[in-house]
Structures are given as structure tokens and as C-alpha cells.
Structure 1
């Protein structure tokens, strides 16, 4: 109990410090810049986060004479890089060093979020520290199957929905204005009174949707009841696609998203993809090893008790039902206080204003007081 209250106090202090130091997010790019990035990714291939560049809520740093690209956003005096660098492989290490110097010249501190195991050693060799911040769910498409007794729970929604006249399809750009309006209605229904997230999570943006194939589920009457964006500008070598933005009507039948996901996996197999990513589950499986550190303990605390910000645990449990391979993702840092970084990134994802942050902190404190009483 003492540990819980100590972490609660630490979390509230961290929120206060963040609000005190927080500054406005930097300006974003125009369509010409985004088209240039699209061409760059077609040449070099993307990675597990590169599709999120086209949400137009981030800044870009071109390194090594525009042969390596880093995507980031500024929060206070912190430059949060999303994912790994993309571009010419031989320049990656020097690009990271160049970005670090760029940050220091402007009085900022770089941190790196969603770092894959592939780049982790490069950061550690440069004197950075790391902490696991979650896991990305990846489906090995050639091995995916709905055959067998153990897969009945995945096979059932496919059979039920097809029998009742529901249809799955993948639509490729350009998308009509009529389609975009219908998808907007689905998205608004899914959101309800909630606010869109961002940064490392996709949100509804017509210009973003216009760039990618869309997987849709339509009812017997032809009305779209669910959809997902399929980010296809991923690794060139192992043919990866990412399911990013996922939305459904609130009154859609039970099992709609299961039908959508399984249909996407089957479509990926037909198209020859090797991997389908379901995205990262933030703060999942932290603090479960015998050697976890204080930072992971704080992260696990937020994961289990921070549902007023986001249902981290529920997201992990849903993705896990498809039996994916889980690949660790890391936060890489040097000088910052880790609790502040955790809150900065969480609130960056949630696109919170200062007033929202204060309200969330007060709400959490009131809950703790009521439970204690």
C-alpha cells in the first residue's frame, strides 16, 4: 500500500512538473514535404512507425545530406524521436549523432521512443540508457491459419458474418469523397465523446487516409460498419503491412473487429505479405523480469492504474487473442528524469492541453482519496 501511494505521489509530482515546463508543439509540414517523404520511403523502405509521418503532427530532421530521416516532436525542452531512422543504412549511426548535436545546439534533450532491438545497441554504445516501454504485435502471415480446433474462436466470426451477408474488401487510392464521408461517420460513431490521439497512434485525417489502402467491412445493405488503414510503406525486404487506424460503428454486431482482422490476415496471405503488424501495446509486459528497474516499475504502475488516460491493458489483451509474436520496443534517453519522460510521451500521444493534464491529475487524486476513505 505504501508503494502504491508513493508511486501515486510521484506520478502527480511528475504531472505538475510537466505542466510547468510544457511548451507549444512545433509547426507541422505541408503536402509538398510529405510527398517528398513518401518518395524517400519508396526508395529506401519504411519501418514500424514511418507511416505515422503522414499524420502531419510531427517534425522532420534530414541528416547526412538528406539521406537519413528522423521523425520527432518537441515537448518542453525534449525532442521525442518516434521510431528508428529511415534511409541509407550506412549513415544511420552518424545520423543519430548529428540529430543529438542539433538538439543540444538549440538547448533541447533528445529521447528516442519506439526504438526497435535492431538499433538498441547503437544507442547504448553512445552512452544512452534504455527502458522497455511496450511490445509490438506482429503476425507471421505464412503461418497464420484458422484451421483446427484451437482456432475455432477465430473461424467463427468469419463464418457467421459471411453467412449473414457481410462482406470484406480492400479499397485502394484514390478514395472518393463519398467514401471519405462514410468513413468519417464510422469514425465519429466510434469516438463518441472521446478525443483523438496522435503522435504514435493514428487518428482520422482525410489526407492521411487518402494515401493508404483501406480494409472495410460492409453490411448486407452495403453500408460500411468498420474499417482500418493498411500502411504499406514498410520494410522492402520482408514485405510488412501495418494495421493502423481502426474504427467501427458503436452499434455494429459483436465480432465485427474479429471478422475485420482475420479477413485482413487472409488478404495479406493472398497478396504475399510476410508480416502484418498490429502496432504497439504501450507499457505492456514491463516489470515482469527479475531484473526490472524503477523506471519499468513506474511504467507498469501507469499501465495498470492509468486507464483514465488510456486502456493500455485492454489493448494488449485484445491483440494477444490473435497469438502474435511480440517484439520489444524501447525508450532511449540520457539525462532526463524518466517519470517526466513517461508522462510527456503519454500526454503527447493523447494530445493533451495543460488544462486536460491538470484535470486528469486532480481526478486521479480524488479517486485515491475516496478509496483510502
Structure 2
């Protein structure tokens, strides 16, 4: 079956909308792949592989002169100033290039341009230059050079004014802010480019608009929360002004466009990618504190390593004896980061969060759990070490909390982790991939054993060598200090060290147990998240082996993710199914050893009875429907499969006019078809296919359908053929996927599944791809080419009563439908009619008929009419597992306009 209305759209005029992705990319070798043999090029005239790439880079530079010039000036100025500072021994950035409140008040506006060009550290160029090139190219492509300049000026001036004002209100009371007011700071070139980027996002497709804004705001939030320099506030407000300016500049949407956009949704794939990116940005945020004089967030204490402060051991000893003043708190912080173990313990949790972000990006359920747990631990640690411990351990703890900003620190530390917890929880369904239980058990056991062993080692050293510490620790003191060995030092800023090591051995144990534990935790987590196996993978693997023995045209769908499997007693055949509302809904009939299929139907029904499930066979063909009817099952026609015989393929006659026109048009426009597995396609082609699919799915007001409808994830199987249409510029215009069918271990036919095309692709491109597939299969000698079936299209009722007669019939007419069957028919027909404007299954049904196929019915067979309401819910749940009440409400509103 096919999950798209893209095919019928190919026969109507394409909408004039902007593409979801850039329609021009670097030329790739696949764009010239012809359908006919090409002439052999002489070796002496072969083009060097790097030459086309160089031409593309030169062409890009010529089309973005402003961006290239600005990036070059920024690079030259920063490197030149850095060399001058190094030669003269001056600090970087130099004083004459810094902006400050006092200088602006004195009218020294001339320092603003230099403050905008310089970065806070020369190494920042490694990040800022690529960011400038990316943001500038997007804005300049949309607006041109002149308009980009004035948009940049408006946003940067507004951002500087608002950002500096808000930064004073937020942090003006801090001692370090007085130094910034006096000596100044730089703003950075990103302040100039973030506004045009956000303005340009308003003119992009919804998918790219969402990507640009989410990533940009995530980066800006990390800068403000973890570093908090005035320049970061300026960047944040420049982005906000660009967002607003883009909204005002973008053309007004028509009622139809507005209604369509209100119904757009985010797919699972897009959601998990965005969550992963946001998590990675938040994890990397603490690193910006390393080069900042303003230290915020859990790991901001690491920034002291980059500053002029040095540990005063004499003052530290006095603080350990008396404690309480602000200078003592500073000495505690410096003391902790002066130890390599404290630094490593602060960095490794950051690495853990990056590993978790990778797992979220890949859709791992374990990563979602770890993200919630780690962020919750951050919140708990913030509360403990900022509120509980200072009050308990110091009689003057409450005053210290107020004096040293613990309340504010706890709030800033806990807010972002709480937001991450909410984000992951809301998108929980986007992380369905699980890890094998045996691997999880090994990882958990290794982590727990390491923790216990390290704690025992620490306790043993403290008990056996108490005099090798500054203060001999008692068992209670050792127990109280133990958690601090595993906690990032940023949480311990206001906590007095209970004792310090004075020998090499105690120093190694004191500083080493935390890094060892976090190293093991990171490695075992990465080991789990990189595991290619998931829960049920062994069963899926067995089913994938059996489908290559024998099956029907849609049996391959039974190997997809989300299915359970029942294996015959011999293990030579299998039935794929899903359970919802007490109904075991199969994905077509049995596959594997054909001799067992008849027995499998009965055995699976008994298996379901043992589990108190109602067996329902979905998308079975006529032969199995008849066998189920003999068992007392009623049946319902749920679609019509379209089957083409490649051996008889021809396009002569009036009925084939549309197909002939599509083929000829594709040839005139230089479009060729390319066939390969997904993982053998060039990376640029893969990215375009994913973007085409994402844009198609987001334009639907209901979630992407599953069950017997494949998506991008189902393209990854190497056994699936990908046939895509690519034009002379390397732009993928449309794509189809084809599922194999085996008989006696040999492939005998292929079934159409995935169909997508760009909104602006030429009319008839889908007809072209299907016709080319038929020609390819004709040359290969395939027995059939199935165009699959449009789900819930062409429904009709056919009742097969039990031998003894079913309730509601006289027992003599096997074709007389009972009231229950009519009810289910009406429910499914209503569902089909409701979602027709979204998925267009009836239009797809008519589109496939133009290929003059043979029509074969597919059926739903069920044993008990009393279960019809549950069966209807199970079918809808299987096709739309992610549908929520909000989706239904949004869809109804869109339909009522």
C-alpha cells in the first residue's frame, strides 16, 4: 500500500510554492546517469574530481559577494589585531576596540564598528566564520546585498540598544559588571548577521523556518544562560528584531495559505532531530564560560582557569578555619578548579549530555530516559548545594545564600534542565528505538559495580590513611564528602571543602574516583546507544529471513518496525501483527513456507484466544479470505490492489496518452531515472529525499500514517529499490520505493510503496517513474509489478457467514452482510472520506487506474461482529499511532474553513 497523495497531484498543475530545500545543489555524478548506455570518455579527457567542486565554490562566492567580503574582513581584522597584541604584549581584545557604557555615554561611538568586528578570543573565529558564511548566504540569497545591509543595521542597532539595557538591569549589581563598564567588551560579528538570518527565515518554507529559528534561539539562549556577556544580550535582541522585521516584510498570506499552515505539523523524524540539536546546544553551552569574564551556569567555574585569579593557599587555610566571607567563597572555587580531577569531573558530564543528545537525534528511548534523569539530577543538585547544604552546614547559611547569589544561581541552573525535561516528555513518542535488555543489564551492572568499587576504595583510603589529609576525616565526614567527588565543581561554589589531600596517593584517590566513574558511564552509554539492535530485533531478523522464502505482494511490509511476530511451531512461517484495543491486527497474511499458511491461520487464531485478543486479518487476498470464511470469519473489502504484468507492458493507444506524455516531457526537460538502494545514493540525494518527505508530511494536518504505509525509515533496507527522478542540475524531483516479493527464494515481483515529489516538480513525473520501473522489470523478466492499494479506497461489503449461520443472517446466503459488517464498513468509509482531503486515497486509486492494471481485492477478516467498534479503533490506531485530540481538532477546524 502507498502512503501518499503525491501521485494524483502529479496529474494536476503543480503549486507555485517555494521548495522546502534548495533546489540547486552541487553537481553530482548521479545527475548524468542516463537510462541508455553512455559513450566511454577517453581517459585523457576525464575531468578531475575536484574541478567541479572548485567551480561550485567559485560560483557560490560570486553569487554572495557581501557575505564573502564580510567574512574575509572579519578574519583579517581579528588575525591582524591578535598578531599586534601578541607582538606588543597587549591584552586581546585591545582597549581601543572595546565598547562600554561609559564610552557610549562620553560619545565614543566610533568604537562600535571595531567592537562588532572583533571576537572575544581568536579561537572563536573557528565558530564565527562558518556561522557568518551560513547566515550571510541565506540572507543575501533572499534579499540581495543592499537590503541585507540595511536589515543588518536596523537589527544590530536595535539589538545593541535593547541588549545593553537589559544586561545592566539583569546583572548590573555584580562586581564583575563594574569592571565591564570600565574596561568594556566586544560585541562580535554575529550581532550583525543574526538579524538578516532571522528575517530571511520568514520567507522560507515552514520546515526550514522552524529549523532556523529553533536552532538560532537555542544557541542564543545558551550564550545568555551560560555566559551572559552584554554582547550575548545584544545578539539575542538582534535575533528578535530580525524575527519581527521578517514577519513585517513577508507578504501577507492568503486565507488558503494561512489555513494550510495552521494545519501543518512536525513529523517524528523532524521532532527528534530538533530535540537532539537543542540538547546538544544546551550541553555545549557551559563551554562558552571558558573565555568569558562573566561566569554563569553549572560549569561556569571552569572560566576561572582562563582568568588572572590564582589560589592563595594561606588564605584558603584561613577560610577552612573561619569561613564565611566572599573572598573565601572565591578561594573555594579556585581551589576546586585547580585540581585536574575537579575539572575532569566537570567536563565528563558535559560529554555525557552530548552522547545523550546523539541518542535523541537517533530516536533512542534510552537517551530520552537518560536525558530526563540527568536533567532531573541537575535540578536536585542545584537545590541541594545551593539551598540545603549551606543552611545545614553553616549557622549563617541563609545570610550567605542571599549575599553570594545562591538563590539566583539555583534558579538559573534549574530552569534549563526543567525545560529539557518538558521538551523530551512532550516528544516522547519520537524516540521509539529501544536497546536489548541483555545489553542494558550489562551496562547497568558495569556502572553500578564501578561506583561501588570506587566508593569502597575512597572509604578505605580515608580510613587507613587519615593523617594524609589536611584534617583527619571521620567515617561520617568521609560519607558526607563522598558525593562531592562525583559532582561538577560548579555546584560546589559556596560549599566549604571538608578536608584536602596532602599526599600523592590521597590526591590521586581524592581527584580520581569521579573521573573514572564518569568515564565508565560515558563509555557504556555510548556502547548502548550505538547498538544497532533493538528490542524484538531477533524476531524481526527471523521474519526478514522468512520473507525471502515465500510471500505475497505486500508481505515485505511485515518486516517493518512496530510489528510483533508469531512463528509457526516449525519456525518456517510467520505472521506479523499489532495489538490495539484488544485486537491483534495482522499485516497481510502468513509468509514463509507456503505449505504451512493454511494451518497458520488457525494456529494464530488459537494463539490470540490464549491471550484474550481478537484475531483480525488485514489486507489478505481472496484465497486466504476464503479459508478464513470456512473458519467462520466475516470479511470486508478494504481496498483494491493494482497489478501490472511487465511482460505485457506497452504504452500504445489512447488510454496511455497521459503516460506517453509524461515520458516524453521528462526526456525533453533532461530528467533521468536512477535506481539504487538508499544507502548507495549520494549523500546529497539522500538529504533531498528526506527533505522532500519531511515537507510532504508537514503539509498534512494529520500525523504521518504508518502500518502498511512506509516512510523514510523503511527506505533504509538494502533490499528495497529506490527509483528517483533527477534533473540536469542534480535536483531530485520525485522518488519512489519498491518492495521485493520472493517465491521459492527468488524475487518474482516488486510492489510500489513510497511516493513523494516536490511541490514544484514537473507534471507527470510520477507517471514517468512508474513507466520506467515497468520497463526495467520487463527487461528483467519479473512476473508482476504491484502498484499496491490505496488504503480504505473502493470499500465494499462481503460477508462470509459461518457454516452454521451467523447472527443476523439466515445462514443460507453467504454474501448477505449483517448489520455489524455494515457498521464497520460505514466507519471505515467515514474515516476514508474524512481523511481524503489530507491523504487523497481515492485520488490515488484513480491515478493508478491509468496504468491499466488488473484489480485484486484485499480484505479484512474478523471472527466476531461484537468486536467491530474495537476493530475500527484498532485500524485507525495502527494507521495513525501518533494522532492526538489536538490533531483531530486542528483537522476539523481546517476542514471547516
Give your verdict on TM over 0.5: yes
Given the alignment of the two structures, is residue 351 of structure 1 paired with residue 881 of structure 2, yes or no? yes
Cα deviation for residue 291 of structure 1 reads 5.9
Deviations for 1:92-134, whole angstroms, at most 9, x for unmatched residues? 2222222222222222111110011011121111111111111
Contact 1:234-1:241 within 8 A present in 2 as well? no
Q: Which residue of 2 aligns with 1:262?
A: 771
Equivalent pairs, count = 343
Contact 1:137-1:281 within 8 A present in 2 as well? no
Q: Superposed, which structure 2 residues align to 1:52-71 within 5 Å?
A: 52-71=557-576
CA distance in structure 1 between the partners assigned to 2:711 and 2:848 by the alignment: 19
Q: Superposed, which structure 2 residues align to 1:180-259 within 5 Å?
A: 180-194=686-700, 195-205=703-713, 208-236=716-744, 239-259=748-768
CA distance in structure 1 between the partners assigned to 2:889 and 2:878 by the alignment: 16
Query: Which residue of 658, 666, 669 maps to 1:164?
Result: 669
Contact 2:554-2:751 within 8 A present in 1 as well? no
Q: Which has the higher contact order (CA 8 A, sep 6+)?
A: 1
**Aligned-partner SS, 1:65:** coil
Deviations for 1:243-286, whole angstroms, at most 9, x for unmatched residues? 11111122211111111111111111111112111111223333
Given the alignment of the two structures, is residue 326 of structure 1 paired with residue 855 of structure 2, yes or no? yes
Contact 2:790-2:841 within 8 A present in 1 as well? yes
**Aligned-partner SS, 1:56:** coil
Q: Which residue of 1 aligns with 2:154?
A: none
CA distance in structure 2 between the partners assigned to 1:97 and 1:53 by the alignment: 19
Given the alignment of the two structures, is residue 51 of structure 1 paired with residue 559 of structure 2, yes or no? no
Q: Which residue of 1 aligns with 2:586?
A: 81
Considering only aligned residues, what root-mean-square deviation do their CA atoms show, in Å? 3.0
Q: Which residue of 1 aligns with 2:540?
A: 34
CA distance in structure 1 between the partners assigned to 2:610 and 2:727 by the alignment: 56
Cα deviation for residue 197 of structure 1 reads 1.3
**Aligned-partner SS, 2:759:** coil
Given the alignment of the two structures, is residue 109 of structure 1 paired with residue 614 of structure 2, yes or no? yes
Cα deviation for residue 29 of structure 1 reads 4.8
Determine which structure has more spread, i.e. the larger CA radius of gyration: 2
Deviations for 1:121-149, whole angstroms, at most 9, x for unmatched residues? 21111111111111111112112211234
Most deviating of 270-279 and 186-195: 186-195
Contact 1:64-1:95 within 8 A present in 2 as well? no
Classify 1:305/1:176 alpha carbon distance in 2 versus 1 (closer, same or farther; 3 Å).
closer
Cα deviation for residue 79 of structure 1 reads 0.7
CA distance in structure 2 between the partners assigned to 1:47 and 1:123 by the alignment: 17
CA distance in structure 1 between the partners assigned to 2:797 and 2:849 by the alignment: 17
Q: Which residue of 1 aligns with 2:381?
A: none
CA distance in structure 1 between the partners assigned to 2:724 and 2:713 by the alignment: 17
**Aligned-partner SS, 2:608:** helix
CA distance in structure 2 between the partners assigned to 1:263 and 1:224 by the alignment: 16
Contact 1:84-1:119 within 8 A present in 2 as well? yes
Classify 1:201/1:141 alpha carbon distance in 2 versus 1 (closer, same or farther; 3 Å).
same
Cα deviation for residue 78 of structure 1 reads 0.8
CA distance in structure 1 between the partners assigned to 2:655 and 2:714 by the alignment: 39
CA distance in structure 2 between the partners assigned to 1:109 and 1:291 by the alignment: 23
Q: Which residue of 1 aligns with 2:642?
A: 137
> Any gaps of 5 or more consecutive residues in structure 2?
1-428, 435-533, 799-814
Contact 1:180-1:206 within 8 A present in 2 as well? no
Classify 1:160/1:309 alpha carbon distance in 2 versus 1 (closer, same or farther; 3 Å).
closer
Cα deviation for residue 305 of structure 1 reads 4.4
Contact 1:55-1:203 within 8 A present in 2 as well? no
Deviations for 1:177-202, whole angstroms, at most 9, x for unmatched residues? 61432321222233233332111111
Q: Which residue of 1 aligns with 2:625?
A: 120
> Any gaps of 5 or more consecutive residues in structure 1?
1-23
Deviations for 1:334-358, whole angstroms, at most 9, x for unmatched residues? 1243344234213311223343575
Most deviating of 257-266 and 340-349: 340-349
**Aligned-partner SS, 2:680:** coil
Q: Which residue of 1 aligns with 2:842?
A: 313
Q: Which residue of 2 aligns with 1:21?
A: none
Given the alignment of the two structures, is residue 93 of structure 1 paired with residue 598 of structure 2, yes or no? yes
Contact 2:640-2:789 within 8 A present in 1 as well? yes
CA distance in structure 1 between the partners assigned to 2:697 and 2:610 by the alignment: 41
Most deviating of 221-230 and 350-359: 350-359
TM-score, length-scaled by structure 2: 0.36
Classify 1:133/1:149 alpha carbon distance in 2 versus 1 (closer, same or farther; 3 Å).
closer
Classify 1:339/1:145 alpha carbon distance in 2 versus 1 (closer, same or farther; 3 Å).
farther
Most deviating of 183-192 and 122-131: 183-192
Contact 1:146-1:155 within 8 A present in 2 as well? yes
**Aligned-partner SS, 2:836:** coil
Query: Which residue of 266, 273, 291 maps to 2:782?
Result: 273
Q: Which residue of 1 aligns with 2:227?
A: none
Cα deviation for residue 37 of structure 1 reads 2.5
Q: Which residue of 2 aligns with 1:14?
A: none
**Aligned-partner SS, 1:203:** coil
CA distance in structure 2 between the partners assigned to 1:188 and 1:332 by the alignment: 34
Classify 1:196/1:353 alpha carbon distance in 2 versus 1 (closer, same or farther; 3 Å).
closer
CA distance in structure 1 between the partners assigned to 2:794 and 2:753 by the alignment: 21
Contact 1:64-1:94 within 8 A present in 2 as well? no
Deviations for 1:152-196, whole angstroms, at most 9, x for unmatched residues? 221111111112211012114652561432321222233233332
Cα deviation for residue 53 of structure 1 reads 2.8
